């Protein structure tokens, strides 16, 4: 039987064609194309940047709320073990080390209720009141300005707002 040539294979003796010559117009982007891209990016920046700039304040507030929720959980565990909340005088330090002042907790957890007390996102300690103004206890931060009251980033954030 005679051999037939396979249509898939190209014989080695076939000439290899050189790539087509490119014209100078195909060498890069035109100035007009670059200007259109710059204008589009500028418009996007005008829309996106104001929204991104507000995010750090929102992130700090969210972190403060998460910290306050964690501290409130530890205070509730303290109460479960000791049948009372730490006093305002004992403060949040009662969650980390055994209080020495009255009322001394009888069933204080051996390893405490928190490893360490977090500071608020603005570098100040969280405040604690027991009994609280809003609830059985209040845990709060005064916000960015460190003064009671305020709006926006300066607003107080407290455990009463988490519920």
Share of the chain above pLDDT 70, in %: 80
pLDDT digit string, tens, across residues 5-35: 555 555 556 555 655 565 555 667 787 888 8
pLDDT digit string, tens, across residues 32-89: 888 888 888 888 887 777 666 667 888 888 899 999 999 999 999 999 999 999 999 9
| Residue-by-residue DSSP string for the chain | ------SSSPPTTSPPPPPPPPPGGGSS--HHHHHHHHHHHHHHHHHHHHHHHTHHHHHHHHHHHHHHHHHHHHHHHHHHHHSSPPPTTT-GGGGTS---SSSPPTT--TT-S-SSPPBPTTS-BPEEESS-SSSSSEEEE-TTTTSSS-SGGGS-EEGGGT-
pLDDT digit string, tens, across residues 104-115: 999 998 899 999
């Amino acid at each position: 039987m005679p051999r037939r040539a396979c249509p898939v294979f190209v014989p080695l003796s076939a000439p290899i064609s050189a790539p087509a010559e490119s014209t100078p117009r195909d060498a890069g982007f035109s100035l007009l194309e670059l200007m259109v891209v710059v204008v589009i990016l500028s418009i996007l920046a005008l829309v996106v940047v104001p929204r991104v700039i507000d995010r750090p304040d929102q992130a700090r507030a969210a972190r403060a709320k998460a910290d306050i929720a964690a501290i409130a959980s530890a205070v509730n565990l303290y109460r479960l073990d000791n049948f009372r909340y730490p006093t305002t005088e004992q403060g949040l330090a009662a969650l980390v080390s055994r209080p020495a002042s009255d009322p001394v907790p009888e069933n204080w957890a051996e390893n405490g209720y928190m490893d360490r007390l977090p500071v608020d996102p603005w570098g100040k300690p969280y405040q604690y009141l027991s009994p609280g103004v809003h609830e059985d206890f209040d845990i709060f931060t005064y916000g960015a300005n460190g003064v009671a009251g305020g709006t926006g980033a300066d607003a107080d954030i407290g455990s009463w707002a988490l519920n």
